[in-house]
Amino acid sequence: MSDEAYDASLDILRRLDPKFIGSNLSNVCRLQPELAADLLASIDKPLETARCSKTGKPFLCCDYNRDGDAYRSPFSNEYVGNDVEEDAPKPSRHLRELETFANDSFDIYRDLYYEGGISSVYLWDNEVGDATEDGTIGFDGVVLIKKSVDEQSSWNSIHVFEIESQDSHLANYKLTSTILLDLQQDPKDTTYLSGNLTRQTERKVQFKDSASHIANIGSLIEDLETQMRNMLQEVYFGKSKDILTDIRSLNALDQRKADRAKQENLIQRFDSL
């Protein structure tokens, strides 16, 4: 029965308005509390932010840096929140160095591609063992990017990756990327676009040391995110333009012009993200 309930819950969440995925997910978890952990791990929702208590910088929160009600800051490596446990998980020494390097690297990526927003990177050791400096033992991680415009439109990128070193010079990189898009001109306006897109890719690339893993996964994320952005532009805006152009309408011509103007405004907001 639990498998049937889990599949039904996923099916319901896929059919409901993606704009309200956060509240819909919370409601389903309240109805099926025994499935809450699996649902929260399977369904992506817009990223929330917290502020580092030491540096004052904002960072992004997700299940991968959460322990109870507290979230680990990528800047201080300390948890922010209530009831922080002393044995809360943290990366190993060398992996923490890589995490700091990755945050600096993807902060440059975010600034170049998004010209704003927030990025956070979290790494953790895999089942093989702690990450090594020569890179022969890989690690897992997640790259988060969020940008908002006028608190009404937002772009959320969630990139979860696994690194499996096959020998001293070759590693297998597995990447699962999800983009959540929400575009709206005005809170009172009923015209908005919301949705998400998930894609997976896998690639074998040579590496020199553990730092080169960050460069390789960054290149993989750059390629896949560009492809997904183009797909979103084609699906959301190309199809909506076709509908507005071809559909038979009883509304006055001025109303149709106003609808097209709203669509053009949404496209401009998408370009600004």
Using CA atoms, how far apart are residues 77 and 188, in angstroms rounded to an integer?
41
Q: Cα–chain-centroid distance for residue 15?
A: 20
φ, ψ of residue 164 in degrees (nearest 5): -120, 110
Give me the pLDDT at residue 34, please: 87
Give me the pLDDT at residue 26, please: 87
pLDDT of 8-40, one tens digit each? Answer: 888 888 888 777 888 888 888 888 888 888 887
Q: Tell how strand 79-80 and strand 70-72 pair up.
A: antiparallel
Give me the pLDDT at residue 18, please: 78
> What rounded mean pLDDT belongs to the chain?
85
At 16, which amino acid appears? L
Domains plus CATH for the chain?
1-43 (1.20.58.570), 44-245 (3.90.1150.210)
Q: What is the pTM of this model?
A: 0.83
Question: What's the average model confidence in pLDDT over 179-203?
Answer: 81
pLDDT of 131-171, one tens digit each? Answer: 888 888 889 999 999 998 877 788 999 999 999 987 778 99
